[in-house]
């Protein structure tokens, strides 16, 4: 019963984080970031805490159930293209995060969450922004034309499509938040006993 409660809590947290991120990713902050960059990295924290507390099998259940719930909510609240892009990127990146975290969990307390979040974030960013905004993946009659505008990369570099600049900015914020998320992860170590 305790394990199912933990999985349920993880699924609920995951659904809130991903749905909020899918709504917020549609609102740019300048030419190099979206509001979703500030919320999505916490999905990796949820996955890593579930993995530590309940093991990789339960963490995968949190990812899969959170994925299903978030896709349904995102279709309704953010639109089909964002939901498909997010669902694909989320599922691939989070399942990879579970594997990498599990393999590294015996090392230093910070290594598994930081390395797994870095690899997962890079894959998630590349998949999501390509599927959601690249012209090659136009679907559901939504061309996301606003994301095709040419802007200076990160607001000051060479010219790039807005969606590319947003992806780079998003990844940089994800990495910053992955570092900051080590603080609550470290604090949670005392509250969330490691599963062997």
Please give the backbone phi and psi of residue 34, each rounded to the nearest 5 degrees, phi first: -125, 160
The 10 Å Cβ neighbour count of residue 170 is 25
Alpha carbons 35 and 24: distance in angstroms, whole number: 5
Say if residue 136 is exposed, middle or buried (CB neighbours under 10 Å; 0-12, 13-18, 19+).
exposed
List of residues 6+ apart from 53 with CB closer than 8 A: 6, 192, 193, 194, 195
Structure tokens at 168: 């780079």
The pTM assigned to this predicted structure is: 0.81
Instruction: Name the pLDDT band for 3 (thresholds 50, 70, 90).
Output: low
Identify which of 44, 62, 51, 35 has the alpha carbon closest to the alpha carbon of residue 192.
Answer: 51
Q: Which positions ≥6 away from 171 have C-beta within 8 Å?
A: 121, 122, 125
Q: Is the model's pLDDT at 139 over the cut of 80? A: no
pLDDT of residue 172: 93
Residue-averaged pLDDT of the chain: 85
pLDDT at residue 180, as a whole number: 92
DSSP annotation of 27 reads S
Residues 148-175 have a mean pLDDT of 87
In this model, does residue 138 exceed pLDDT 70? Answer: no
φ/ψ of 142, rounded to 5, equals -105, 110
The more confident residue out of 6 and 39 is 39
Longest CA–CA separation in the chain, Å: 55
* Domains annotated on the chain, with CATH: 2-189 (1.10.1760)
């Amino acid at each position: 019963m305790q394990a199912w409660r933990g999985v349920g809590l993880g699924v609920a947290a995951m659904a809130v984080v991903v749905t909020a991120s899918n709504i917020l990713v549609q609102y740019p902050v300048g030419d190099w970031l979206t509001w979703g960059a500030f919320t999505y990295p916490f999905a990796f924290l949820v996955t890593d805490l579930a993995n530590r507390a309940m093991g990789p099998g339960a963490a995968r259940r949190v990812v899969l159930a959170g994925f299903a719930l978030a896709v349904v909510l995102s279709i309704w609240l953010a639109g089909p293209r964002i939901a498909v892009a997010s669902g694909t990127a989320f599922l691939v990146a989070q399942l990879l995060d579970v594997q990498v975290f599990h393999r590294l969990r015996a090392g230093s307390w910070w290594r598994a969450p930081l390395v797994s979040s870095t690899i997962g974030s890079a894959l998630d960013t590349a998949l999501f922004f390509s599927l959601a905004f690249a012209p090659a993946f136009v679907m559901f009659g939504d061309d996301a034309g606003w994301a095709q505008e040419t802007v200076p990369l990160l607001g000051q570099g060479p010219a790039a499509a807005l969606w590319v600049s947003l992806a780079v900015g998003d990844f940089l914020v994800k990495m910053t938040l992955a570092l900051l998320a080590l603080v609550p992860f470290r604090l949670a170590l005392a509250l969330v006993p490691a599963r062997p």
